[in-house]
């Protein structure tokens, strides 16, 4: 039995590096391998999700064109593409990459630990998530295909079975199981992040000295712990409604496809409440790691400390707390009373205050700085740009009366793609360009990176800006095509968006090429290529199996010492010197 461990002993993990291929690269306990596995999974998922969106865009812009492999896309197929695009992107990209991926790789090193607190749970976390992804992808290949009820899977459409359309049979059941497994995986991950941050910090690494991205991952894991704990019961009840004949979400007397459903008394709204109680915090699970990454990277390239670090942390905590009070703003159209709508609208507006403060802190950090325009820095600036753009449209949507008009339109599509999708992606890109040298010991190509950034920034504005105009013009979302009705006049705009989306997608090949080429033929990376302060830069690139080669770093400084008189004439002081 283990004996009482001192903080020092607890930070030491007594497992030797494994020899076999399986233990080293497949069922590895090493947080660095698990982090890369998560990032690899996210890369596969993001490519899948992007191809799905190309099919959707192709049909929206050119409704009569035959899609490669699918022929003329039917409305049902369109909904399936939309459902899978949303599910894959939100769960398997925006949650796995910035949180589970970078968090797993970087957090233990940044706190000075040799591994996560529970390496076995950590391994399980990835493989359960992998199984969840495999189940979801498998639903493409079952008869009638994957689910079509959207990534939100609103009941009763998601609960009644195949009467609700193709894909609502086995496809939707697989969807529910996939999300159930995903919840388990992320809960195990969150447990690890929390225990590692609290208990495995090296000597001198007080909470106040934690780098901002570690703070962000910690807060995100607390949010995730609460959010996924609520989505999981919702999935269990949904699965029981589907396979065991219960009636949690299916009302009495429901007729679907001319057939009376043999259920009674359930509440479809109950699903919406449970789902959005998870769903809104999920937005912050996707974006807060980005906040942390930006706040860590910007000072490095501004050579100035982050402005107001304590204010920044307070704002992140405030956002995390408020994220649990606003879920009803997704349900303004569900028939809720004006009083309830107001109760959800007010905190939605209040949450913009900490978000705006954070943005101002970033701008203040950059203000007057002599920026080093690396690709990682550019993506940070791009993050601020798209986050502000997407956040501004949020003001409008937070008003129940305006949302009544805009909710079911492309305005919302433009809004959430900017503020959550593209912003989080820019955070992922920034993190990739920043940590790639540490992870693989090789630099990425900066010239290709800058081309990638410029074209992507122009591309995402070309795609998502016009969607706001479509929304204001009343163009309904989730419809597969509308050539013959009043929305036909919007077709040229859709065509523009489609062309922009295909081109911006093609631009990502530059990133893929850069990633693969740099991995094998990139310039060798020094230990601290960016002259940054946090602990991951105090070890080799890539770090040894135990992260610090048996050394136990003692932390003497905060992460924010840029623009100071450091040793050897440097303008920064590393945390462990």
Partner 1 sequence: MSTHVVSPARTGVWAAIGAITMSFAAYTSALVVRAGDSADWVHVHLPWLVYANTLTLIASSITLEVGRWRVSGRFDSRVSGLSLLRVTLALGLVFLFGQVMAWRMLAAQGLSLATNPNASFFYVLTAVHALHLVGGLIGLAYVIYRARLSAFPSPGPVSASTLGAVALYWHFMDVVWLYLLVVLTLWL
Residues found near partner 1 in the complex (CB under 8 A): 1-7, 10, 117-118, 121, 187, 190-192, 194-196, 198-200, 225-226, 228-230, 232-234, 236-237, 240, 244-248, 252, 264-267, 269-270, 273-274, 277
The helix/strand count (H/E) of the chain reads as: 18, 2
- 107: tokens are 């957090």
The smaller minimum CB distance to partner 1, of residues 59 and 280, is found at: 280
The smaller minimum CB distance to partner 1, of residues 243 and 516, is found at: 243
- Report the C-alpha gap between 53 and 85 in whole angstroms: 6
The smaller minimum CB distance to partner 1, of residues 55 and 228, is found at: 228
Least separation, in Å, of the C-beta of 134 and partner 1? 23
Cα 562 to Cα 26, 176, 344, 574, distances in angstroms:
39, 48, 41, 9
Least separation, in Å, of the C-beta of 9 and partner 1? 8
Asked if 89 contacts 47 with a C-beta cutoff of 8 angstroms, the reply is no
Least separation, in Å, of the C-beta of 324 and partner 1? 10
- Report the C-alpha gap between 467 and 405 in whole angstroms: 15
DSSP code of 433? H
Helices (H), 443-483: 446-472
Least separation, in Å, of the C-beta of 180 and partner 1? 12
DSSP for 494-529, please give it. HHHHHHHHHHHHHHHHHHHHHHHHHHHHSPBP-S-T
Cα 149 to Cα 229, 233, 367, 511, distances in angstroms:
22, 19, 46, 32
Least separation, in Å, of the C-beta of 262 and partner 1? 9
- 489: tokens are 């006049």
How many residues are listed for the chain in this entry?
577
The smaller minimum CB distance to partner 1, of residues 29 and 232, is found at: 232
Q: What is the 3-state secondary structure (H, E, C) of 235-296?
A: HHHHHHHHHCCCCCCCCCCCEECCEECCCCCCCHHHHHHHHHHHHHHHHHHHHHHHHHHHHH
The smaller minimum CB distance to partner 1, of residues 245 and 338, is found at: 245
The smaller minimum CB distance to partner 1, of residues 190 and 481, is found at: 190
Contacts of 436 (CB under 8 A, 6+ apart): 442, 443, 444, 515, 518
DSSP for 63-77, please give it. TTSPBTTTBSPPHHH
What residues does 259 pair with on adjacent strands? 256
Contacts of 202 (CB under 8 A, 6+ apart): 11, 111, 112, 113, 535, 552, 553, 554, 555
The smaller minimum CB distance to partner 1, of residues 123 and 200, is found at: 200
Least separation, in Å, of the C-beta of 11 and partner 1? 8
The smaller minimum CB distance to partner 1, of residues 60 and 116, is found at: 116
The smaller minimum CB distance to partner 1, of residues 204 and 566, is found at: 204
The smaller minimum CB distance to partner 1, of residues 5 and 401, is found at: 5
- Report the C-alpha gap between 512 and 522 in whole angstroms: 14
CA-nearest of 177, 197, 201 to 189 is 197
- Report the C-alpha gap between 453 and 439 in whole angstroms: 21
Least separation, in Å, of the C-beta of 10 and partner 1? 4
DSSP code of 206? -
Least separation, in Å, of the C-beta of 320 and partner 1? 14
The smaller minimum CB distance to partner 1, of residues 6 and 339, is found at: 6
Q: What are phi and psi of 476, to 5 degrees?
A: -70, 140
Least separation, in Å, of the C-beta of 247 and partner 1? 6
- Report the C-alpha gap between 308 and 360 in whole angstroms: 10
Least separation, in Å, of the C-beta of 409 and partner 1? 30
Least separation, in Å, of the C-beta of 233 and partner 1? 4
CA-nearest of 130, 60, 81 to 493 is 60
Least separation, in Å, of the C-beta of 261 and partner 1? 13
The smaller minimum CB distance to partner 1, of residues 234 and 380, is found at: 234
CA-nearest of 282, 365, 263, 243 to 95 is 282
Asked if 327 contacts 321 with a C-beta cutoff of 8 angstroms, the reply is no
The smaller minimum CB distance to partner 1, of residues 267 and 480, is found at: 267
The smaller minimum CB distance to partner 1, of residues 344 and 562, is found at: 344
Least separation, in Å, of the C-beta of 239 and partner 1? 11
Least separation, in Å, of the C-beta of 91 and partner 1? 18
DSSP code of 23? I
Is the peptide bond between 347 and the residue preceding it cis, with omega within 30 degrees of 0? Answer: no
């Amino acid at each position: 039995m283990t004996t009482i461990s001192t903080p020092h002993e607890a930070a030491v993990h007594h497992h030797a590096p494994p020899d076999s291929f399986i233990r080293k690269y497949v069922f590895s306990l090493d947080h660095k391998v698990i982090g890369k596995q998560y990032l690899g999974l996210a890369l596969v998922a993001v490519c899948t999700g992007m191809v799905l969106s190309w099919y959707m865009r192709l049909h929206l812009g050119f409704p009569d064109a035959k899609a490669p492999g699918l022929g003329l896309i039917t409305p049902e197929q369109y909904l399936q593409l939309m459902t899978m695009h949303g599910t894959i992107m939100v769960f398997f990209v925006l949650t796995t990459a910035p949180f589970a991926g970078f968090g797993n790789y970087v957090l233990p090193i940044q706190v000075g630990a040799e591994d996560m607190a529970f390496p076995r749970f950590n391994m399980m976390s990835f493989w359960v998530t992998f199984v969840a992804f495999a189940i979801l992808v498998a639903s493409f290949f079952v008869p009638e295909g994957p689910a079509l009820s959207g990534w939100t899977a609103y009941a009763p459409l998601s609960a009644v079975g195949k009467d609700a359309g193709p894909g609502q049979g086995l496809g939707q059941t697989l969807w529910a199981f996939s999300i159930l497994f995903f919840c388990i995986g992320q809960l195990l991950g969150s447990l690890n992040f929390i225990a590692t941050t609290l208990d495995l910090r090296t000597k001198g690494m007080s909470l106040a000295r934690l780098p901002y991205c570690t703070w962000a991952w910690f807060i995100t894991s607390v949010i995730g712990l609460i959010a996924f704990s609520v989505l999981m019961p919702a999935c269990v009840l949904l699965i029981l409604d589907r396979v065991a004949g219960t009636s949690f979400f299916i009302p009495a007397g429901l007729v679907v496809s001319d057939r009376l459903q043999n259920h009674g008394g359930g509440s479809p709204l109950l699903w919406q409440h449970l789902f959005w109680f998870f769903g809104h915090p999920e937005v912050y699970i996707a974006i807060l790691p980005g906040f942390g990454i930006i706040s860590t990277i910007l000072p490095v390239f501004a050579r100035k400390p982050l402005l107001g670090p304590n204010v920044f942390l307070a704002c992140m905590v405030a956002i995390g707390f408020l994220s649990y009070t606003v879920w009803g703003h997704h349900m303004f159209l569900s028939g809720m009373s004006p009083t309830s709508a107001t109760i959800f609208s007010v905190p939605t507006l209040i949450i913009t205050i900490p978000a705006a403060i954070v943005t101002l802190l970033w701008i203040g950090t950059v203000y007057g700085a002599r920026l080093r325009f690396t690709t990682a820095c550019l993506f940070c600036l791009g993050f601020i740009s798209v986050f502000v753009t997407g956040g501004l449209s949020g003001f409008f949507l937070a008003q129940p009366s305006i949302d009544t008009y805009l909710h079911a339109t492309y305005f919302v599509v433009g809004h959430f793609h900017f503020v959550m999708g593209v912003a989080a992606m820019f955070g992922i890109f920034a993190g990739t360009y920043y940590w790639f040298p540490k992870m693989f010991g090789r630099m990425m190509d900066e010239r290709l990176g800058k081309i990638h950034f410029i074209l992507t920034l122009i591309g995402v504005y070309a795609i998502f800006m016009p969607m706001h105009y479509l929304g204001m013009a009343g163009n309904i979302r989730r419809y597969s095509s509308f050539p013959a009705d009043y929305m036909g006049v919007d077709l040229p705009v859709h065509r523009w968006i489609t062309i922009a989306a295909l081109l911006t997608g093609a631009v990502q090949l530059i990133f893929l090429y850069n990633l693969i080429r740099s991995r094998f033929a990139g310039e060798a990376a020094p230990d601290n290529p960016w002259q940054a302060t946090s602990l991951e830069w105090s070890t080799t690139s890539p770090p040894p199996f135990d992260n610090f080669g048996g050394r136990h770093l003692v932390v003497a400084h905060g992460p924010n010492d840029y623009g100071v008189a450091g040793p050897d004439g440097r303008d920064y002081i590393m945390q462990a010197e």
